[in-house]
């Protein structure tokens, strides 16, 4: 049971956790009554939460079907990652001068935790959360509302969020650690063109791998 304050916000967080953990999958229907029963609350805040998730593009509503977690084809996944790399690369290239030593230290701390996971001294289940924290921390410096909005509609938002629980099947912990360590080094170097090129390549590579989870090709099981 959740606390009575900020019902809708807590329902949003609850549903996002289920999607992030893979407990609620792309295309899966979401019934207001079932969510309300699970959380022992009325349907009104659940309805409000679903509207918020629809605005974010994570939930869709179709006539005679109802609301469900958005489902993307392989091409939509790849396209969103390619676009995400272009947008995030451009945004970061324009804002490197805003990063402080404290910002870089925070990012380095996240990368260090990834390294501990790769070394086996931390729970591997933390990697997805750290990946989100790293990218969100970088993008927090972007001061263009339009860029942020477009980015959230691309891989940084919907696609990456929906599919991030597959990350461990695509990259071993050591590879994730090394990729983010290299990204931090590029960011700290401060060369705009290099940052843009690196982000485009970084996202395209991931998008090509993530495309296997498109609704038109995914069989329902990760490869070992």
Query: Which CATH number do you get for residue 106?
Result: 1.20.120.530
Distance CA 157, CA 167 (A): 15
Separation of first and last alpha carbons in the chain: 36
Cα–Cα distance, 63 to 61 (Å, whole number): 7
220 part of a folded domain? no
pLDDT at 112 over 90: yes
Domains: count for the chain: 2
DSSP element (H, E) containing 60: strand 59-62
Q: Residues 122, 140: one domain?
A: yes
Confidence check: pLDDT of 5 > 60: no
**Which residues is 68 bridged to in the sheet?**
29, 60
Rounded average pLDDT over 79-83: 90
- Mean pLDDT, all residues of the chain: 88
Q: What is the pLDDT of residue 162?
A: 76
Structural domain includes residue 23 = yes
Whether 101 and 57 share a structural domain: no
Give every CB contact of residue 112 below 8 A, 6+ residues apart in sequence: none
Q: What is the pLDDT of residue 220?
A: 67
In a domain, 222, yes or no: no
Q: Which residue has the tokens 């959740």?
A: 2
Give me the percent of the chain exceeding a pLDDT of 70: 92
Indicate if the pLDDT at residue 66 is higher than 50: yes
Taken as a whole, the chain contains a residue count of 224
Domain membership of residue 182 (yes or no) is yes
39/16 Cα distance (integer angstroms): 14
Name the DSSP class of 156.
I
Q: What is the pLDDT of residue 224?
A: 47
Same domain membership, residue 45 and residue 155: no
In a domain, 2, yes or no: no
- How many Å apart are CA 92 and CA 88, to the nearest integer? 6
| Mean pLDDT value of segment 95-112 | 96
d(CA 213, CA 204): 15
181 pLDDT more than 60: yes
**What average pLDDT does this structure show over 152-180?**
80
Nearest to 158 by CA among 223, 48, 46, 83: 83
| Confidence band of 222 (pLDDT split at 50, 70, 90) | low
Q: Tokens for 44?
A: 């009104």
Q: Is 70 left (phi over 0), alpha (psi -120 to 50) or beta?
A: beta
For residue 4, what pLDDT band results from cuts at 50, 70 and 90?
A: very low
Answer whether residue 80 is part of any domain.
yes
- Are 82 and 45 members of one domain? no
Query: Residue 175: pLDDT above 90?
Result: yes
User: Which structural domain, as residue segments, surrounds residue 32?
Assistant: 7-69
For residue 163, give the nearest of 120, 114, 206 by alpha carbon: 206
pLDDT exceeding 90 applies to what percent of the chain? 55
């Amino acid at each position: 049971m959740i606390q009575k304050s900020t019902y809708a916000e807590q329902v949003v967080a609850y549903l996002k956790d289920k999607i992030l953990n893979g407990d609620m999958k792309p295309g899966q229907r979401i019934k207001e009554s079932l969510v309300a029963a699970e959380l022992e609350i009325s349907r009104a805040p659940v309805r409000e939460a679903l509207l918020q998730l629809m605005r974010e593009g994570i939930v869709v509503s179709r006539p005679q079907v109802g609301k469900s977690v958005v489902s993307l084809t392989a091409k939509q996944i790849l396209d969103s990652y390619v676009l995400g790399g272009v947008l995030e690369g451009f945004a970061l290239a324009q804002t490197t001068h805003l990063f402080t030593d404290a910002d870089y230290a925070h990012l380095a701390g996240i990368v260090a935790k990834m390294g501990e996971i790769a070394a086996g001294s931390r729970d591997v289940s933390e990697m997805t959360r750290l990946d989100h924290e790293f990218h969100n921390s970088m993008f927090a410096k972007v001061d263009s509302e339009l860029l942020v909005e477009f980015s959230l509609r691309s891989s940084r938002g919907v696609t990456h969020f929906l599919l991030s629980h597959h990350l461990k099947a695509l990259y071993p912990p050591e590879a994730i650690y090394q990729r983010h360590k290299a990204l931090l080094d590029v960011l700290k170097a401060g060369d705009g063109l290099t940052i843009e090129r690196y982000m485009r390549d970084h996202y395209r590579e991931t998008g090509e791998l993530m495309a296997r989870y498109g609704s038109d090709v995914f069989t329902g099981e990760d490869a070992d």
